[in-house]
Amino acid sequence: MHVQALSIGIQVPPHHFSGTVHSVFRQACNIRIEPQRLLTLLPSEKGNVPHGIRLHTPSQPAFLDLFRVGQPVACRGGILRTDGSDFSVDLRTARLWHIDLQALYVDLGRPIHAQSWAVAWSELKTYHRQDGLPGTMEMPGHSEERSIASATSKILMQQVAHTLPALLRATNNLRLQDAVIAMRPLIGLGPGLTPSGDDFLVGYLTGLWCRVGNVPSRKRFLTGLGSELSQAARTTNQISCAYLRGAASGHVSEPIATLAQQLTQSNDMGSVRAATLAALQIGHTSGSDGVLGLLWGCLVWQPLPCLFSDDLFRPSVYSDSVVNHEILVGACKRYS
């Protein structure tokens, strides 16, 4: 079977690479091209990934039938081939997919941004997964089976409740070492193939990239945090590591990047809502965790005076207070 690639992420080498199949899922196949680097093959109906290749597949491709773990895969002259099968992909026609997060700028001082943020937040509150971080932090949501039994869940909540405020405060104050210390316990933490802590961090960095703007001190901070994260990402699994490293250099997958784009560019709250829901669909809890990270990431370096001063930090309550914050609410009222 010869198929064309629809789009490729910015981290995919275009013409020449060699590797082996790392892992196969019903709708994805990871290829390890260097000891520390993964590429992901995806069917057309899936969103783009910075290290992903979306295939133009006529019907649902049976990835589990097409690939075996350990099977050699190589790209030569723009054609990706799998060893011993007639499955091949032409990468040359693929569109390069990339959303430049640094070009986006979330300014909650602008009423339209604040309104978009509030809409996304309310969608997250309504539709998040109970067993992801938002659920663990006792945000009310629709009930679901809990994958981590209550005892584990409680411990997870305690850790997160301790870590996240510290991370936000350190970020807000541009204290790199403190931020790194606060970030480390999240890596590889929690349920899921891409553990909740990792998904949160991917979202959080997305938010930070959208807050860098032209401020050199923020850029320095984020570059520093990114490089620490790339190192520390070794302590989670290779699949999750690939996403963390992408986020560290400003590249995240399409649903989360699109949501960031909507937060900054949309005048239509329906689109913001749709983009939030799309992002919430990722994986099992990954979507909820990533959206939470993104929305909190958007809060830093904003002129929200009381936000990071409270020692008795309750993340969920606190975020709600942001929505109700007079700056936001007032701004919305004045300009809408």
Give the whole-angstrom CA distance, residue 245 versus residue 265.
26
Shortest spacing between CB 5 and another protein, in angstroms:
11
285 binds another protein (CB under 8 A): yes
Tell me which DSSP letter residue 270 carries: H
Shortest spacing between CB 291 and another protein, in angstroms:
15
What amino acid is encoded at 83 in this protein? D
Contacts of 276 (CB under 8 A, 6+ apart): 119, 120, 123, 124, 259, 262, 291
7 binds another protein (CB under 8 A): no
Give the whole-angstrom CA distance, residue 293 versus residue 200.
5
Could you give the 3-state DSSP secondary structure of residue 184? helix
Shortest spacing between CB 214 and another protein, in angstroms:
35
Give the whole-angstrom CA distance, residue 320 versus residue 301.
18
Residues between 250 and 269 that touch another protein (CB under 8 A): none
Helix, strand, coil shares, percent, the chain, to 5: 50, 15, 35
Helix H, strand E, coil C: the string for 18-43 is: EEEEEEEECCEEEEEEECCEEEEEEC
Out of 18, 36, 227, 324, which residue is the one contacting another protein (CB under 8 A)? 18
Shortest spacing between CB 315 and another protein, in angstroms:
18
Buried b (16+ CB within 10 A) or exposed e, 69-93: eebebbbeeeebbbeeeebebebee
User: Which of 197, 250 has the CB closer to another protein?
Assistant: 197
User: Which backbone phi and psi does 34 adopt, to 5 degrees?
Assistant: -135, 165
Count the site residues for another protein by CB under 8 A.
78
Shortest spacing between CB 133 and another protein, in angstroms:
13
Shortest spacing between CB 215 and another protein, in angstroms:
31
224 binds another protein (CB under 8 A): no
Out of 10, 37, 44, 90, which residue is the one contacting another protein (CB under 8 A)? 90
Residues between 170 and 209 that touch another protein (CB under 8 A): 185-195, 197
User: Which of 67, 209 has the CB closer to another protein?
Assistant: 67
Residues between 311 and 330 that touch another protein (CB under 8 A): none
Shortest spacing between CB 68 and another protein, in angstroms:
4
Residues between 113 and 152 that touch another protein (CB under 8 A): 131, 145-152
* Of 106-114, 133-141, 236-244, 260-268: span binding another protein (CB under 8 A): 236-244
Residues between 23 and 42 that touch another protein (CB under 8 A): 23-26, 28, 30
How is residue 93 written in tokens? 């026609």
Beta carbons of 32 and 238 less than 8 angstroms apart:
yes
154 binds another protein (CB under 8 A): yes
Shortest spacing between CB 97 and another protein, in angstroms:
19
User: Which of 98, 284 has the CB closer to another protein?
Assistant: 284
User: Which of 15, 142 has the CB closer to another protein?
Assistant: 15
Q: Any idea which residue has 């990871």 for tokens?
A: 30
Shortest spacing between CB 179 and another protein, in angstroms:
17
User: Which of 112, 186 has the CB closer to another protein?
Assistant: 186
What stretch of H or E contains 3?
Answer: strand 2-9
237 binds another protein (CB under 8 A): yes
Residue 196's alpha-carbon distances to 115, 133, 151, in angstroms, are 27, 7, 17
User: Which of 52, 190 has the CB closer to another protein?
Assistant: 190
Alpha helix positions (H), 23-110: 63-66
